[in-house]
Chain A
Amino acid sequence: MSRLSRNPLMRFPGMAPVAGFAFAFLYMPIFVLIALSFNENRIATIWSGFSTHWYGVVLGNDDILHAAQNSIVVAVVAALTGTLLATIAALGMARGRFRGQTGATAVLVLPLIVPEIVTAVATLLFFVLIGFKLGLLTVMVAHTVFCIPFAYLPIRARLDGMDPALAEAAADLYANEWQAFRRVTLPLLWPGILSGGLLSFIISLDDFVLTYFVAGAGATTLPVYIFGMIRIGVTPEVNAVSALMLAVSILVVSLSWLIGRTQR
């Protein structure tokens, strides 16, 4: 929308309070959670004073650290593989139309359309029935499938916004195809790749449902561990570990946002 938005007529009555309510609704639970994670009380929801004690308890818990380590290993592998596959697919999909393009796009974004629980059931059945042992490897494979569309969409958007004349100019200057890609396309595409990679990293790090189905025993990730904790009860430890997960998500998303916005 243009400058006209400053026209007083464009202020629709009632929109501001509803928007205010929506933002309060979105952020109140997050603030409450963060506040309570600094509560010294043994009982999670009764405030009795500020303390970072429970963060210490969480960071001293070997099970939590082990689960976090699993999560990070899985997320790094899945995000790297997914982003690599998505990047080369985006390069193939860009530049002109071709037969089967709609079908290819449909397959690439399919993991976003199919409900996660259906994917989880199908993947579990697949691995069990072909006799593949459930563990970190199956989680990585399942996450990679999910990471592909999350990385593909921002990379593709970046490619579509690029001026094809730049690569042509490189060709005019006697760059071969690889040189043009390496010296012109890739540097311009890099923010899109990085931002897509970070988003798929966070998607994998946060994933619960798919992991819960295909992890099997011994491949517990942090969300699966937290789920187990919540099932047992509301405790100060859950508050602290949840606040930590929240902080990591906010950090990574902010980073991806900043990278995506700069260098346009």
Chain B
Amino acid sequence: MGGSAVTKQMLRRASLIGPALLFIGVFMLIPIGLMAYVSFLERGEYGGVVWHAYTGEAYSNFLFERDLDGSLLLNTDYLQIFSRSLGLATVTWGLTLLLGFPTALYMALQPERLRNLLIFLVTIPFWTNLLVRNYAWILLLRNNGLIDGTLSHLGVTNEPISLLYTPFAIGVGLMYSFLPFMVLPIYASLEKVDLRLVEAAFDLGANHLKALVRVIIPLARPGIMAGSILVLIPCLGAYVTPELLGGSKSMMIGNLIQTQFGAARNWPFGAALAFVLLAMVLITMMIYTMRSKRGPEPAS
């Protein structure tokens, strides 16, 4: 092949991939860069920013607040919101894994037609509106709602129990929102497992638990890792669930960011918070790619 043919091939590729890359570049990459820039600007008095006035205020805001006389005071409010977000994301991750892995394994061991139906059933909630899904939990969790009503009807409780507007409600909502994200990738990797390996484990005298721990789980590791990423990342940035199911005392990072563009009118601080969240996600992704490059650990 001559050099011109290679160049022609490259040009053809570039002209096909180019438009999509350009679109994402202009409307996503540049905005993210701009957001990082804005996080170092001074806030405008009535919202917006002051151009060419650089400050690290937005980042020091995170830990300190200015007293009336201008001295810095430690303020742990925002730190609490970050640690609450991390905590809720971790708990959600753990619970979706506990519930999702057995579900995926059960699905993978069914006959093909039932299997396809089950995948479809897991996919449906995944594609339904997030607001609608969280709203359904308001109906269930609120005072005199379905759960409370049933409990008092059965005589388990005497007075209304308030489940809504608590961190518990957020946890349930997040788990509900992201369970399919855990089940589907684990299922995808379990489906590829060669059952003869599991059979060999049984032949060699392994019981169910041993076969699970020593053979199946190691082989499903890529799916477990992918599912964990897919649950952790959106959980950290969740906005709708804490907004609808949590109270004002159980804000997460997403709500704090939104407030900066709404009532608080502190755009640089909002941009800085979003940038910190993005950094957390990218670090998680880097750890994930480095780990998954090593491949699954040997089962022995």
Interface residue ranges, A against B (CB under 8 Å): 1-2, 4-7, 9-16, 18-19, 21-23, 25-30, 32-33, 36, 44-45, 85-86, 88-89, 91-93, 98, 104, 107-108, 110-111, 113-119, 121-126, 128-129, 141-142, 144-145, 148, 152, 199, 202, 206, 208-209, 213, 223, 226-227, 230, 234, 238-239, 242, 245-246, 249-250, 252-254, 257
The yes or no answer to B10 lying at the interface (CB within 8 A) is yes
* A246-B28 in contact (CB<8A): no
Residues of A within 8 A of B137 (CB): 29
* B120-A257 in contact (CB<8A): yes
Interface size on B, residues (CB 8 A): 97
Partner of A223, one of B124, B131, B139, B253: B131
0/1 interface trace, chain B 1-19, chain A, CB 8 Å (1 if under)? 0000000001011111111
* B139-A45 in contact (CB<8A): yes
Partner of A122, one of B14, B35, B124, B176: B35
The yes or no answer to B31 lying at the interface (CB within 8 A) is yes
Query: With A and B bound together, what is the CA distance between A141 and B27 in angstroms?
Result: 8
* A121-B128 in contact (CB<8A): no
Residues of B within 8 A of A124 (CB): 261
Known A33-B132, A230-B244; contact A86-B20, beta-carbon cutoff 8 A: yes
Residues of B within 8 A of A89 (CB): 16-17, 19-21
* A91-B16 in contact (CB<8A): yes
Give the 7 A-B residue pairs with the shortest CB-CB distance, closest first: A115-B237, A92-B16, A29-B136, A126-B31, A122-B31, A19-B106, A89-B20
Known A4-B195, A45-B144, A118-B32; contact A22-B100, beta-carbon cutoff 8 A: yes
* A245-B129 in contact (CB<8A): yes
Query: With A and B bound together, what is the CA distance between A6 and B99 in angstroms?
Result: 23
Residues of A within 8 A of B109 (CB): 1, 5, 10-12, 15
Residues of A within 8 A of B132 (CB): 33, 226, 242, 245-246
* A30-B16 in contact (CB<8A): no
| Most chain A Cβ neighbours within 10 Å, of B132, B136, B267 | B132
Nearest to A243 among chain B residues (CB) is: B132
Nearest to A253 among chain B residues (CB) is: B127
0/1 interface trace, chain B 118-154, chain A, CB 8 Å (1 if under)? 1011111101111111011111101011100100000
Q: A206 → chain B, closest Cβ, in Å?
A: 4
Q: A155 → chain B, closest Cβ, in Å?
A: 11
Residues of B within 8 A of A142 (CB): 27
Q: A106 → chain B, closest Cβ, in Å?
A: 10
Query: With A and B bound together, what is the CA distance between A91 and B258 in angstroms?
Result: 38
* A33-B139 in contact (CB<8A): yes
Q: Which of B62-70, B73-81, B274-282 interfaces with chain A?
A: B274-282
Can you give 26 contacting A-B residue pairs, CB < 8 Å? A5-B108, A9-B199, A13-B208, A15-B105, A19-B106, A29-B133, A29-B140, A30-B136, A32-B136, A45-B139, A98-B10, A98-B13, A113-B281, A114-B28, A115-B236, A115-B277, A117-B258, A118-B237, A118-B275, A119-B28, A121-B35, A125-B31, A125-B271, A230-B138, A238-B135, A249-B129
The yes or no answer to B90 lying at the interface (CB within 8 A) is no
Nearest to A9 among chain B residues (CB) is: B202
* B21-A108 in contact (CB<8A): yes
* B111-A26 in contact (CB<8A): no
* B176-A26 in contact (CB<8A): yes
Query: With A and B bound together, what is the CA distance between A107 and B133 in angstroms?
Result: 30
Query: With A and B bound together, what is the CA distance between A236 and B137 in angstroms?
Result: 15
* B108-A26 in contact (CB<8A): no
Partner of B131, one of A9, A45, A230: A230
Residues of A within 8 A of B57 (CB): none
Residues of B within 8 A of A23 (CB): 103, 118, 121
* A30-B128 in contact (CB<8A): yes
* A18-B103 in contact (CB<8A): yes
Partner of B99, one of A21, A115, A128: A21
Query: With A and B bound together, what is the CA distance between A242 and B193 in angstroms?
Result: 40
The yes or no answer to B190 lying at the interface (CB within 8 A) is yes
The yes or no answer to B29 lying at the interface (CB within 8 A) is yes
Q: A222 → chain B, closest Cβ, in Å?
A: 9
